[in-house]
Homo-oligomer: A and B are copies of this chain.
Amino acid sequence: MTLIGGIEAGGTKFVCAVGTGPQDIHDSVRFATTTPAETIAQAIAFFRWQKQPVAAIGIGSFGPVDLTLNSPTFGYVTSTPKPGWANVNLLGQIQQAIPVPIAFDTDVNAAAYGEYRWGAAQGLDNFLYLTIGTGIGGGGMVNGDLIHGLVHPEMGHLLIPHDLEADPYPGHCPFHGDCLEGLASGPAMKARWGQSAETLPEDHPAWELEATYIAYGLVNLIASFSPQRIILGGGVMSQPRIFDLVRRRVQAFLNGYVQHPAILQGIDRYIVPPALGNWAGVLGAMALAQTGIGGG
């Protein structure tokens, strides 16, 4: 069986894996994202130490990244505010060390593709995958193709209603203040409530407010894409109560305008967690490599 490698290159951690699919992971490793030199070296070392070489690698990277195939900076992490990581040739450094075909896309498109291949988006041609954690990002498919465009989507930076009387927290996005990511990412929750999302109890009002902001974002994505399903991953979504709070608000905010049973009656199957859990990213990167559809 041909072994494939996957790299989920996240802004907080890297996940590398070797195998053929979710039921057949031969080896995997997780490590913190530190400097580019150290982090990329760890990823390269993981694949070099494997007994059997991989036939191809897929990378799903945090961004912004350059996905334009004929661009001189194709495969770079570009204008990220993450210290040290702006203008880093992520793909090129790995490609030089491991001379196999390498597919490259955003971390969220990779996770979306993993869910399409093996998870909650099987059989769907129009769906979105969002991660809500340290940052907020989104990817997905329209008519069976991953969404790229001019650069790539930045779904965390939607501008949404913000009632400053109910929530005076100004938002923490360095570019937009109170965009979706500025109001609803993990660091925003921590800054607003003085404790991290994981430590906020289930009945804390933080979750009602969090669900409101996420639902504003989802309503906007539904109005934009009319997706058949929305998958929500990331650390913030591991709160067991949050999915139902989000679903009810999406229905309330849409207010019957989109008259489709998937939303009116089937919302529990419309807004769902990733079936692959926190393996979606690295498995999706492997799936990208297998089908050779990454990049551009």
Interface residues of A (CB under 8 A from B): 64, 78-79, 126, 138, 142-143, 145, 147-162, 175-176, 216, 219-228, 253-260, 262-263
Of B153, B155, B227, which is within 8 A of A149 by CB?
Answer: B227
A106 to chain B, nearest CB (A): 11
- Additional A-B contacts beyond A143-B143, A143-B145, A143-B148 (14; CB < 8 A): A142-B143, A142-B149, A145-B145, A148-B226, A150-B258, A154-B223, A154-B226, A155-B223, A156-B223, A158-B223, A159-B161, A159-B219, A175-B254, A175-B257
A90 to B227, CA, bound (A): 25
A144 to B228, CA, bound (A): 19
Pairwise interchain contact B78-A259, C-beta atoms closer than 8 A: yes
Q: Which residues on the B side are within 8 Å of A79 (C-beta)?
A: 257, 259
A256 to B157, CA, bound (A): 12
Question: Given A159-B161, A253-B159, is A258 in contact with B151 using a C-beta cutoff of 8 Å?
Answer: yes
A59 to chain B, nearest CB (A): 19
Q: Which residues on the B side are within 8 Å of A223 (C-beta)?
A: 153-158
A107 to chain B, nearest CB (A): 15
Of B142, B151, B158, B222, which is within 8 A of A220 by CB?
Answer: B158
Question: Given A145-B145, A161-B160, is A155 in contact with B224 using a C-beta cutoff of 8 Å?
Answer: yes
A-B contact pairs, 27 of them (CB 8 A): A64-B258, A126-B150, A142-B142, A142-B143, A143-B143, A147-B225, A149-B225, A150-B228, A150-B258, A150-B262, A150-B263, A153-B224, A153-B225, A154-B223, A154-B226, A154-B258, A155-B223, A155-B224, A157-B219, A158-B220, A158-B223, A159-B253, A175-B254, A175-B256, A176-B255, A176-B257, A220-B220
